[in-house]
Structure 1
Amino acid sequence: MADDVKLAVIYYSSTGTVHQLAEAVAAGASAAGADVRLLRVAELAPREVVASSQPWATHAAATEHIALATPEDVFWADAVVFGSPTRFGNVASQLKQFLDTLGGLWMQGLLADKVYSGFTATSQLHGGQESTLLALYNAVYHFGGIVVPPGFTDPIKFVDGNPYGTAHVSGGQGEIPVDDTARAAGTYQGKRVANVTRALKAGRRA
């Protein structure tokens, strides 16, 4: 159907927190009727570094079956929701490297007018959630994309407290589980992005 929304959730996760948020976003988008691709980006850290951390190694092994994102997935999508843990208040290098592979599509104008959104996790409270999402959205501005944040458009966001995108405080090794509030926020964000994208597609056809 012409109003079907194609949505890609593209993320990086080391210990699994951002992966769980990605699943919630994908579930929300699917519930809103979108055709969803849940995709991870490639790990850049050496194998021995990953193996030195049990949570990191365990999560890497558990998610090997999830397909790696490619620029074609972004070209395919009407909307893309990116997920990244915070690295010194910025996007993780693994996701940034993927963004840098999109230069060819950008030069052709093929990233423009799509919908984009983001989510994140930090080890500590006030550990850079907002700055990470704002840094992520810098790329979207260069794409000519349309940022659709959750804002405070649903009561869950007043509990989650981050209008820039779903966020969770995970602890240093992901020892603080993703809670119901974060999952609900991610699900809501996925639904919102899918519904806004569908409305934009309908408006363009009018």
Structure 2
Amino acid sequence: MNQFNVGRRESKKAETKIEIMKAFIERLEMDELNAIRVQDICDVVGISKVTFFNYFTSKEQVIEYFIHFWQYDLDYQICQTQLRGRALIYELFRRVGAHPASKHILNAIMLFFIKTSDYKPMTIDDYELYLWNSDAYNQGFRLTTIQDLFEKGLAEWQVSSAEIKTMMNNLLSGFYGMAFLQTVSYADNLNENYEKFLDSILPLDLK
């Protein structure tokens, strides 16, 4: 078991941040971001708005907080499957698309980046990672990005760095874009859209 030199105040702060995030993502399973009020989340968690804004600068930052943990979990889960190449990429998209709030999360984070000109990633310390998924932490997993996860699949594709970069851009475009298209076309199943997208762009020689 890992030991952290964390006082009760710091421990309570980390626990409350995660509690806020869980309550927020649960609401996102039903509602778009603009329909969720900070006060509603505070009422669920049992905190004041002052406390909320001591921990997060905005509703979007709560989603960013979740995205970091989501990617952390995906890295851990994918490693357990021992999938590689094309199968790894399909599984990543499948796991993301299967989340009940995936469409709302992806649309919200995309809009956040569109309107943010000076983005600075939030800091998540090791104790927060441990609280979220102690098994992953104890096995040496740390924060990663969706780009890093895609690169693990594309590493099986023996081509130039320029081709890898182009494919990475295509994957990222579809990763966020399919959620947006699902919204404007009123399609029901994000995973079906993801699968069709991957079928159309992944090279046949990526095994």
Quick check: TM above 0.5? no
Looking at CA atoms only, which structure, 1 or 2, has the larger radius of gyration? Answer: 2
